[in-house]
Amino acid sequence: MTLTVNGPITIDQFRRDFPVFADSSKYEDEQIALYLNVFGPSINAQRWGQFYTLGIELLVAHNMALDALAARQGAGGVPGIGNTGIVASKSVGSASISYDTSLGIDPRAGDYNLTIYGRRLYRIIRMVGMAPTQVGGQNEDMAAGTVIVT
């Protein structure tokens, strides 16, 4: 079967850029192609500029990681249980470990906080969203090329 990816990023490029997803038996081409085809057209290349390819790839990686989590949960007999969150502590016998999981978490990022890829993507989303936007031509109230920061 030939997979078609309708966008600027190929499955092979995604695997090269994110080698953690290189194992095609664990991360199937069809799954990557699905996300590339869904997310590629949904990101505005002009607005994202230099971050366009990385944005698509991070969005794909984030969803692939969430799918891997769902698959692990499904293997345990509880498919798609949803919001399990980030493990903050673990005990085995008399040994225990705990991490400060608030570092790098943005309360406005929603489910992007669930993976490292989502957290990286959200930082770029914020940068892209904060980029200056040029507003139209000239009139009495506004000089030509006035920049408004959104």
Render pLDDT for 124-145 as a digit per residue (tens, 0 to 9): 998 887 655 555 555 555 444 4
Q: Is the pTM of this model over 0.85?
A: no
pLDDT of residue 95: 81
> Tokens at residue 114, please?
């669930």
pLDDT digits (tens, 9 = 90+) for 4-37: 887 889 999 999 999 999 999 999 999 999 999 9
**Total number of domains in the chain:** 1
Q: Inter-axis angle of helices 116-129 and 52-75, to 10 degrees?
A: 150
128 within domain boundaries:
yes
134 within domain boundaries:
yes
Task: Tell me which residue range forms the domain holding 124.
Answer: 11-77+106-149
Which three-class secondary structure string do you get for the chain? CCCCCCCCCCHHHHHHHCHHHCCCCCCCHHHHHHHHHHHCCCCCHHHHHHHHHHHHHHHHHHHHHHHHHHHHHHHCCCCCCCCCCCCCEEEECCEEEECCCCCCCCCCCHHHHHCHHHHHHHHHHHHHHCCEEECCCCECCECCCCEEEC
85 within domain boundaries:
no
89 within domain boundaries:
no
117 within domain boundaries:
yes
5 within domain boundaries:
no
Least confident residue range of 47-56, 85-94, 96-105, 116-125: 96-105
31 within domain boundaries:
yes
Cα separation, 140 vs 103, whole angstroms: 48
97 within domain boundaries:
no
Name the burial class of residue 55, with classes exposed (0-12), middle (13-18) and buried (19+) by CB atoms within 10 angstroms of its CB. buried
